Amino acid sequence: MYSSIRRYQLVKGKPDLVREKADAVFLPRISALEGFVSYSVIVTGLGGDGLPGIVTVSVFQDETQAKASSKLAADWAREMSDFFALEKVGEESGRIVSRTEAQ
């Protein structure tokens, strides 16, 4: 499995609105992609500039699928500009080499 982790600063809007739009609009799109395993939105603490951080984690069966989710995410973020603005501050992707789930 592969993961794509994207880090953003929320420069306009509220974290709850990002979550609401992610659940209602983005999750149906990303979950329809081939190889989809999971998607998470994490709200991190305020940065030194007082802006909240948003981290998303997409998990897919293979690397190509995980990387394709990044383009979908960028398109969605642009589409949501009337509601909120995310400034991308980083992205990592790679193979998941260890994973444990609750029994």
> What are the residue ranges spanned by the domains of the chain?
2-94
Q: Does domain 2-94 have CATH number 3.20.20.60?
A: no
Res 52: pLDDT: 84
Going by the DSSP 8-state scheme, the letter that residue 103 receives in this structure is -
Res 48: pLDDT: 58
Q: Would you write out the chain's pLDDT as a tens digit for each of its 103 residues? A: 999 999 999 989 888 899 999 999 999 999 999 999 999 999 887 665 667 889 999 999 999 898 888 899 999 999 999 999 999 999 999 999 998 888 8
| Exposure class string for 56-95: b at 16+ Cβ within 10 A, else e | bebbbeebebbebbbeebeebbeebeeebebeeeeeebee
Res 32: pLDDT: 94
